[in-house]
């Protein structure tokens, strides 16, 4: 709901990025870790794992783990 007021702008930006990607002229520039533009280093893996544990049933995770085991 918070983004409804800018939905058209978001859609247009997604279209623009899609066109750039399609024409192979799209690039993402990453800053060096020492860049003054980086104010906080976010370690996402633990937070993402916690999120997945909240939305994926434990049984499904167990089955995925079992499926990864070599036969």
Q: What is the per-residue pLDDT for 1?
A: 58
Q: What is the pLDDT along the chain (71 residues), one digit of tens a residue?
A: 567 788 889 899 889 888 888 888 777 777 787 888 777 767 788 888 888 888 988 899 889 889 999 87
Q: What is the per-residue pLDDT for 49?
A: 86
Q: Residue 38 to residues 11, 19, 48, 55: CA-CA distances in angstroms?
A: 27, 28, 21, 30
Q: What is the per-residue pLDDT for 67?
A: 93
| pTM reported for the whole predicted model | 0.35
């Amino acid at each position: 709901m918070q983004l409804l007021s800018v939905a058209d702008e978001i859609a247009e930006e997604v279209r623009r990025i899609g066109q750039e990607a399609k024409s192979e002229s799209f690039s993402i520039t990453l800053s060096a870790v020492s860049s003054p533009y980086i104010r906080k280093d976010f370690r996402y893996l633990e937070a993402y794992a916690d999120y997945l544990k909240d939305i994926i049933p434990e049984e499904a995770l167990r089955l995925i783990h079992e499926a990864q085991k070599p036969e």
